[in-house]
Structure 1
Amino acid sequence: MVSRAERNPVADWWFTVDKLLLIAFLALIFGGIVLSLAASPAVAERIGIADSYYFVKRQAIFAIPGVITLIGVSFLSPKQIRRMALVGFVVCVGLLILTLLVGPEVKGSRRWITILGMSVQPSEFMKPMFAVLVGFLLAEGQKRPDLPGRSFSMLLLGIVAALFVAQPDFGQTMLICLTWAGLFFISGMSWMWILAFAGAGAGGILSAYALVPHVRSRIERFMNPEAGDTFQVQTAQEAFINGGWWGQGPGEGTFKRILPDSHTDFVFAVLGEEFGLILCMFLALVFAFVVLRGMSHALKENDGYVRLAATGLIMQFGLQSCINMAVNLHLMPAKGMTLPFISYGGSSLVAVALSMGMLLALTRKRPDQTRFVAPIEFSPLPSRG
């Protein structure tokens, strides 16, 4: 058993990390394996893979580096997290450029690159690096008037957004823009900036609608289902209806057999059909718990960098979760965005584990807040007289 009197890295970590958040993340990773077991065999059979449990086994394998990353990164100090984000940002920029040059084109996009025989999606790893660096720049800009932190953060946004749009990946572009805008707002920008960025965002959406057929098609299908192919979204809705409150039972779902992305983007619909609306709401509550607890930690922080970086990471996690569930419920146009820790995918799982490991590291109780004090033995006072 680890004692508070011990002074070693494991003891320090154990008594300073948020155990409830850690348990929530591990539960979500386990839940992702369970849902992969429910959703992916039908996909494997449909695309002709001999082993029905191919995706399940891979998801379980992905979970191992995911858990190691989650826990390992949570041991780091805020300064080490910042350094990791800087190095990671540079590496991810290089990989994103390389992906555009030599990456295979899949469904009209270049988002993947093969490294040591493994397919990697660099944009997934760019997101946490971006959130931490923007948080640091905005915080430093507040402390040091000579440092144009806001201008540098805009430069980072421009670089990342340009690389994401070039793929193209408009869902991830929207996510990092919302993250940046949220951090910029929290750091104390004026209403003039808010209106300017709102106008720029609206202009960006209109431009994408006018110039990019892929975006126009998705928006038109969302606004008018009769305008095009809405098979996936309609099938997802029927899965929720078929599941009802309590679901059809594990493995008893039928719509996963015809839903193309039932193990990735639409795994929430499989959960609804097989386990029911009750479990869907429970999963949503777990995501809400993570977001609210993470935000409560961030709000208590005195260090501006830690506060903004943690807020950026938790914003990304919460927004991505909401967007995926909203798409499944036909509340938003399809975005091709995974459900954190739940959807099948190695890059997504490990990248989210990295992001939440950073959050755990940033929100740990630091030495100035928590001190390990060895027990003091008191001897009786000598009697007088």
Structure 2
Amino acid sequence: MSHSLNQPTFRQRLRPWFTGFDIGLVIAIALLCGCGLLAMYSAGFDHGTRFVDHARNMALAGLILFVVAQVPPQRLMALAVPIYTVGVVLLVATALFGLTKKGATRWLNVGVVIQPSEILKIATPLMLAWWFQRREGRAQPRHFVAAGLLLLVPTALIAKQPDLGTAILVFSSGFFVIFFAGLSWRLILPVALVGGVSVVALVAAGPTLCEPGVDWVVLHDYQKNRVCTLLDPTKDPLGKGFHIIQGMIAIGSGGVTGKGFMKGTQTHLEFIPERTTDFIFAAFSEEFGLIGCLLLLMCFAFLILRGLAISFAAPTAFARLLGGAITLSFFTYAMVNMGMVSGILPVVGVPLPFISYGGTAMVTLGLSLGMLMSIARARGLMQS
């Protein structure tokens, strides 16, 4: 009798699995998932099973988040070198033996077809956070140079596939780790200044550089076309400029309050290409207008601020660097996607987290948020 009374209840057995979960982060994720389901129901209403599949992908990402959150940051740190090494080896194998589709060699058949570049979205910040954890408090310039090489290897291999969108995401996630590790502003500002001057020069010289027959040397023809289309999409309104023009029309036609849920004409008359994936922000803007976009931006801002708060309070340098990089990667995703849909940035195929359809992207999202929740739990368990 006394033995049965001392046995823990089912609720008591479950409690350790949820102890330390950050409520603010859970709320931010729930809000963005709600926005994603709302947008996908409308944009994918007559697009097969997109809404159901999107909900399934979200559930899978939630399960991955829960499982990864149970793994302590110390265990994640032990996985950093093996995952990064395997990822780079797979990228090299892709370059040598990969499958080519539509002119891009991004996939590798290892019994199942995989896209190794997705692994590096997680592996790169993991590796760099491990690198600086091992040198905490004594990082020297040569350590930052070595970190730069660790970052440039996967970035260059992915860019060569070519997959500029993923290369940008991998580079930015690694750069955030190096920045938080103490990269001097004296090195960042000159590069930023050169970049700014280059953009101004490109805009000024655009009409000449975009003339037929002008070779840009450092870029593929399709990349040159994307930049030239960004500078003047009206040159080919029914061809290369169609995506940008229709996206801007949809965003502008939404006005302040939007046309209303399920009432987007650009969306439902199929003028917006890729309306459930890369250009879903245009469909969202058309139906919910400026107010809806501001609310969506506030949800992303809430997620980012909560993630940064978790990172800054993390117990180790590894957790702080990894958490900060993961958090700011959401800023990169959102900025690049919204920028390209709005005609501010070139179209590079970057999804909008939680909102765009895509199973692989959702799995990566679950892994990233699971690591962030693991960091939050580590701090909470230490305090308890």
Q: Answer whether contact 2:233 2:242 (CA < 8 A) is retained.
A: no
Aligned partner of 2:299 among 265, 286, 289: 286
Q: Which moved more, 1:340-349 or 1:222-231?
A: 222-231
Match of 1:370 in 2: 383
Aligned partner of 1:40 among 15, 40, 44: 44
1:233 lines up with 2:228 in the alignment: no
Structure 2 residue runs of 5 or longer lacking an equivalent are: 1-8, 203-214
Structure 1 residue runs of 5 or longer lacking an equivalent are: 45-51, 372-385
Tell me by how many angstroms 1:264 deviates.
Answer: 0.6
Aligned partner of 2:177 among 165, 169, 183: 183
**Count of aligned positions:** 356
Match of 1:89 in 2: 84
1:11 lines up with 2:15 in the alignment: yes
Q: TM-score, normalised by structure 2?
A: 0.81
Q: Report the 3-state secondary structure (helix = DSSP H, G, I; strand = E; otherwise coil) of the residue aligned with 2:355.
A: coil
Q: Deviations over 1:13-40 (max 9, x none)?
A: 5331212212322342343233222112
Match of 1:60 in 2: 55
Q: Which moved more, 1:351-360 or 1:191-200?
A: 191-200
Q: Which moved more, 1:317-326 or 1:210-219?
A: 210-219
1:136 lines up with 2:140 in the alignment: no
Distance 1:87 1:62 in 2: 27
Match of 1:349 in 2: 362
Q: Which moved more, 1:251-260 or 1:280-289?
A: 251-260
Q: Answer whether contact 1:245 1:277 (CA < 8 A) is retained.
A: yes
Q: Which moved more, 1:76-85 or 1:208-217?
A: 208-217
Q: Report the 3-state secondary structure (helix = DSSP H, G, I; strand = E; otherwise coil) of the residue aligned with 1:110.
A: strand
Q: Report the 3-state secondary structure (helix = DSSP H, G, I; strand = E; otherwise coil) of the residue aligned with 1:65.
A: helix
Amino acid at match of 1:220: C
1:211 lines up with 2:180 in the alignment: no
Tell me by how many angstroms 1:66 deviates.
Answer: 1.1
Q: For residues 241-320 of structure 1, what are the structure 2 equivalents within 5 Å? A: 241-256=252-267, 257-320=270-333
Q: Answer whether contact 1:132 1:310 (CA < 8 A) is retained.
A: no
Q: Deviations over 1:35-63 (max 9, x none)?
A: 22211244x4xxxxxxx33x223223322
Aligned partner of 1:221 among 224, 229, 238: 229
Tell me by how many angstroms 1:317 deviates.
Answer: 1.4
Distance 2:197 2:93 in 1: 29
Aligned partner of 1:173 among 167, 174, 184: 167
Q: Answer whether contact 2:285 2:293 (CA < 8 A) is retained.
A: yes
Could you say if the C-alpha distance between residues 98 and 214 of structure 1 is closer, same or farther in structure 2, counting changes exceeding 3 Å? Answer: same
Could you say if the C-alpha distance between residues 368 and 163 of structure 1 is closer, same or farther in structure 2, counting changes exceeding 3 Å? Answer: same
Match of 1:380 in 2: none
Tell me by how many angstroms 1:168 deviates.
Answer: 0.8
Could you say if the C-alpha distance between residues 274 and 145 of structure 1 is closer, same or farther in structure 2, counting changes exceeding 3 Å? Answer: closer
Amino acid at match of 1:244: G
Q: Which moved more, 1:6-15 or 1:239-248?
A: 6-15
Q: Answer whether contact 2:104 2:162 (CA < 8 A) is retained.
A: yes
Could you say if the C-alpha distance between residues 38 and 91 of structure 1 is closer, same or farther in structure 2, counting changes exceeding 3 Å? Answer: farther
Q: Answer whether contact 2:91 2:116 (CA < 8 A) is retained.
A: yes
Q: Which moved more, 1:317-326 or 1:28-37?
A: 28-37
Q: Report the 3-state secondary structure (helix = DSSP H, G, I; strand = E; otherwise coil) of the residue aligned with 1:141.
A: coil
Tell me by how many angstroms 1:173 deviates.
Answer: 1.9
Q: Report the 3-state secondary structure (helix = DSSP H, G, I; strand = E; otherwise coil) of the residue aligned with 1:261.
A: coil
Match of 2:5 in 1: none
Distance 2:224 2:172 in 1: 21
Q: Which moved more, 1:319-328 or 1:137-146?
A: 137-146
Q: Answer whether contact 2:99 2:109 (CA < 8 A) is retained.
A: no
Distance 1:258 1:128 in 2: 35
Distance 2:74 2:359 in 1: 27
